[in-house]
A and B are shown apart, each in its own frame.
Chain A
Amino acid sequence: MIAGIRLGRGVRLTTMIVAVLALCLGFALGAAATSARATETPAPTPTSTDSGDFTTTYTIGGILRDGDTLVAGAEVTVEGGDFSEVATTDDTGRWSVVVPGKGDYTVTLDPETLPDGVELRDPDKSSATVSAGEWQTNTITRSFPLGADTRQTTGFFEQFLQRLAAGLNFGLLIALAAIGITLIFGTTGLNNFAHGEMVTFGAIVAWVVAVLLGINIFIAMVVALVLGGVFGYLNDWLLWKPLRRKGVKLVQAMIVSIGLAIALRYLYLFNIGGDTKTMNVGLSDAVVLGPVRITTGSLISMLISVVVLVLVGLFLTRTRIGKATRAVSDNPSLAAASGIDVDRIIRIVWVLAGALAALAGVMLALYRQVSWDMGFQVLLLMFAAVTLGGLGSAYGALVGSIVVGLFVELSTLFIPPDLKYAAALVVLILVLLVRPQGILGRKERIG
């Protein structure tokens, strides 16, 4: 990078970053006044052994659940030395006992107090011990696995259809966001790790508008879509365009996007707190379609996703700008030489990507509530979708997304639900082993 002529740009970039920082703090301070909620920061903190003994409350607790049902009214006894106390689980299945200090305790669940039909998975494990050496934190959790596989209560085929519908829904909303990733990658070569935060952005906007302000969810959707587009535009205008001018390399840009993702993610956490927000907007009524039960929210979100995806497809294939976008993806220098304003196309791609990601965020919020890191949780699935489909191909992203969505949901028929994301990522790795170019990627290239 040549210093002299780039001085002006350097100054501009610095100004930009200072501006972003100031904006962050402004946001932060403004929002702090409204919602100063205590949340835990899940990032690693350097707690050493000799700190952390200031507080005097030590708690043993847990959540009782039978499959997806939370168990209320069960009694758990905590004993240790002279100490003995009984806790009863509340409506959310939670129980906790404040104990006098660090030490050995025996935690026993009374099977008699469990609701009818609910039993310990392993009757011999009605009690568990907490040993003195375990007290690294002030809270110790003990869980009691309950019930056999409750999923067997409905037929496998019904389960399958149910999951299929959920998977399709999930796949479509991943596709909405993933197309943005693939268009950005295609036109600029950037793997945008901050894309998840664009998704979260849409969800938060929708939550603020629909829940906090109580405005109709469809209006909230439009607001999120528009603000998402603006957010994408600002991303390009404030950060990525100056970086392109500066001649920043691909890996460098990728790490910048990681930094941006961290900053934005914690900014969201700072502003909305770490608890999960419910999207209670009256779209959770169930509709029964043959053997499949689906919420109106999911149905509407699938419908909107399909319509929007078709529109994006038409945009890319039928309009001048869409064709220019594909030309830039194919060969930027050639596109530039043939009179296409590459910068303008990239800007449009960012706006489109921001809007689509925000829309996907709203759908995701309807599908499974709002939290500060929700976008980041699905970021890898979006990357998996894009990679599966073949980096840089919009149709590939769609196909890859559906595959990922279906796989995530259908895998729960066979493996524990808390491993469903893992399953999708394992598939990604396996596909790369046998077909590195992705499902639709071209194996060969003229060169």
Chain B
Amino acid sequence: MDWGNIFGNAVGEIISPTTAAYALAAIGLGIHFGYTGLLNFGQAAFLLIGAYAFAIPTLAGAPLIVAVLSAIICSVIFAFILGIPTLRLRADYLAIVTIAAAEVVRYIVTTTGLTDFTGAANGLSGFKGTFAAINPIPEGRYGFGPFTYNEYDWWIRIVGWALVVLASVLVFLLMRSPWGRVVKGIREDEDAVRSLGKNVYSYKMQALVLGGVMGSVAGIIFILPRAVQPANYTTGLTFFIWTIMLLGGAATIFGPIVGSMIFWVVLSLTQGILYGAIESGALSFISTTQAGQIRFILVGVALMLLVIFRPQGIFGNKKELSFSV
């Protein structure tokens, strides 16, 4: 078994753009659920919207800034569409409607009727030009050990993690402010907050939009190293983001980041070890595909254990973060 390679790959996941994208999506979800108590089970839809609303204009020849704005605006509109009917209802209605809406948008981008725009089940590719064009890093390979990448890969990582830091700072500033106090109050008892003259509906909407925009920007980072594939945006994606958020601690600043790093490093490690064991003949009775599936069985079990035994996550404060309902 090539342990060097296995660990190298795993360590590489720490700063991979995918890890950054999941961290950013989890920060957004943290605003929804961790701080405001909104049960958003449709975070995948925000990533999807970010991806398509970025890729489609880019492929149509729009400059980078227009494509990014398009992603942001589309996610804001989507947040409103989700929020208007459901934010007045009980929390579990939001859960069902968000998960339903996420599936609806996935069906829509997958339908063959829209192949010309969305590429249907094939998705989209070839949209990296505008982002690569503003890369200030000269061509070449940089770094050391497992962290050796070419200029484009460094560029995605730098931008991706810069956005993660920016989002974390934003969350930190918001949550120490009176605004954060109001949404934390809503998380616990919205009637109490309403009785104090706060427009609860408006705050919930603001939180939904803010977290949704982060999800949509995460969607852009997520597709920059790969293609847009509608099959990536199933509810499975949402639940992985949930796992990441709960792993680190739902209402914490560093939780989503560390959660995402642990999630991907562990997935990479288990994959490397299982594959290595299969190749070396130590595990002869399962295939590499099945090894990949074992990892997701483990994700499911880990999610259960986490929620039951450490609902506040790694960084969370149990008094503040245990589930209120």
Contacts and interface: CB of A to CB of B under 8 A. Distances in A.
> Is there any pair of Cβ atoms, one from A and one from B, under 8 angstroms apart in the complex?
yes
Interface of A: 1, 10, 13-14, 17, 20-21, 24, 28-29, 32-33, 36-50, 131, 133-137, 140-141, 143, 145, 191, 243, 246, 248-252, 254-256, 258-267, 269-270, 376, 380, 383-384, 387, 391, 416, 418-419, 421-422, 425-426, 428-429, 432-433, 436
A48 B285 contact: no
Interface in B155-184: none
Interface residues of B, number: 82
A40 B231 CA distance: 12
A418 B91 CA distance: 30
Contacts, number: 220
A262 B91 CA distance: 22
- Name which of B237, B264, B294 has the most chain A CB atoms within 10 A of its CB: B294
B299 A262 contact: yes
B18 A48 contact: yes
Interface stretch (B72-80, B146-154, B191-199, B208-216): B146-154
Given A380-B99, A422-B107, A391 B227 contact: no
Nearest to A136: B227
Interface of B: 13, 16-19, 39, 84-86, 88-89, 91-93, 95-97, 99-101, 103-104, 107-108, 110-113, 115, 120-122, 125-126, 128, 149-150, 152-153, 225-227, 231-232, 234-237, 239-240, 242-243, 246, 264, 267-268, 285-287, 289-290, 292-294, 296-297, 299-309, 311, 322-325
Contacts of B322: 1, 249
B12 to A, nearest CB: 8
Chain A at the B interface: SS class: helix
Nearest to A420: B107
B296 A416 contact: no
Nearest to B292: A41
Given A261-B300, A270-B294, A391 B307 contact: no
A380 B286 contact: no
30 contacts: A13-B308, A17-B301, A17-B305, A32-B290, A36-B287, A38-B287, A41-B289, A44-B18, A48-B16, A48-B18, A48-B226, A133-B125, A134-B126, A134-B227, A143-B112, A143-B120, A248-B308, A249-B325, A250-B323, A252-B311, A259-B303, A262-B239, A262-B296, A262-B297, A384-B100, A387-B93, A416-B112, A421-B107, A422-B103, A436-B89
A418 B107 contact: yes
Contacts of A269: 293
Contacts of B235: 376
Q: List 10 A-B pairs, minimum CB-CB distance, nearest first.
A: A263-B300, A262-B300, A259-B303, A133-B126, A259-B304, A136-B227, A422-B107, A249-B323, A425-B100, A266-B296
